[in-house]
Amino acid sequence: MSPPTSRRVGRPRAQERPTSGLEPRDEVLSAAAELFTTRGYTATSTRAVAERAGLRQASLYHYFDGKEAILATLLEGTVRPSLEIARELVARTEAPPEARLWALCRSDVMLLCSGPHNLGALYLLPEVQTEHFGVFQTLRTELRAAYGELLSATQAGSPLGAEELSLRTDLVFGLTESVILIRRADPGRAPQALAEATADAALRVVGVPQRSLARLRREGQQLLAA
């Protein structure tokens, strides 16, 4: 009878790597996006993220300092593309500001609705209000300011005082981000239809008459296609 084989002692092996083809850092972000939006941020540990990404927990810390750093990166990634588009639209002064605002709203909604996970829902986490997420908050403030700049240049917005202009900006910005809750309640809703309906509604909030919407929608679409 052969002697029993001894059990090998050592570090546990990582789970089999996912077949997504992503780099390890991006795999961590993908895993975290899924877990944070399905299980919840507080209920998700770095160990769980590492396991989903096919890494050892210690390896995760090669890419991120911890769970807050992962969340911050995900959040910043939802704003940076919109901010880049917003800066481009603000600079395109040859186009009507109403059409540029429509284009910004539409593109912002499309970005919030892109990807398999509703990352915008993470905006509502109380942890996001802390100093660890200062970069995200700064980016979001800059994006809101771009909305305000375009709104103030519109025919309906230009006569407004500072207080009313700030209120209208908050309403338009809030309307755009309201798709986060709509997507959570109805994940199957078509993003393009939602984006264009939101952009139309935003112009109505600004004070654009209904008769002008079709023309401004066409001009906004042309701006995004350019």
Look at residue 3 and tell me whether its pLDDT is greater than 60: no
* Contact present, 217 and 94 (Cβ < 8 Å): no
Query: Is residue 120 domain-shared with residue 185, that is, in the same domain?
Result: yes
4 within a domain of the structure (yes/no): no
Query: Is residue 55 domain-shared with residue 132, that is, in the same domain?
Result: no
Quick one: pLDDT band at residue 22, thresholds 50, 70, 90? confident
Look at residue 78 and tell me whether its pLDDT is greater than 70: yes
- Give which of 196, 41, 26, 171 is closest to 118, Cα–Cα: 41
* Torsion angles phi and psi, residue 99, rounded to 5: -70, -35
- pLDDT value of residue 19: 59
Number of structural domains found in the chain: 2
- pLDDT value of residue 21: 78
Look at residue 1 and tell me whether its pLDDT is greater than 50: no
Look at residue 208 and tell me whether its pLDDT is greater than 50: yes
- pLDDT value of residue 137: 97
Quick one: pLDDT band at residue 197, thresholds 50, 70, 90? very high
Query: Is residue 151 domain-shared with residue 49, that is, in the same domain?
Result: no
Look at residue 10 and tell me whether its pLDDT is greater than 60: no
Give the whole-angstrom CA distance, residue 15 versus residue 46: 14
7 within a domain of the structure (yes/no): no
Query: Is residue 106 domain-shared with residue 204, that is, in the same domain?
Result: yes
How many other C-beta atoms can be found within 10 angstroms of the C-beta atom of residue 5?
6
Domain carrying residue 96: 72-225
CATH at residue 36: 1.10.10.60
Q: Which of 42-46, 113-117, 200-204 has the lowest mean pLDDT?
A: 113-117
Q: What average pLDDT does the structure give for the chain? A: 92
pTM of the complete model: 0.89
CATH at residue 198: 1.10.357
- pLDDT value of residue 45: 97
The pLDDT tens digits of the residues spanning 104-161 come to 999 999 999 998 999 999 999 999 999 999 999 999 999 999 999 999 999 999 999 9
Look at residue 224 and tell me whether its pLDDT is greater than 70: yes
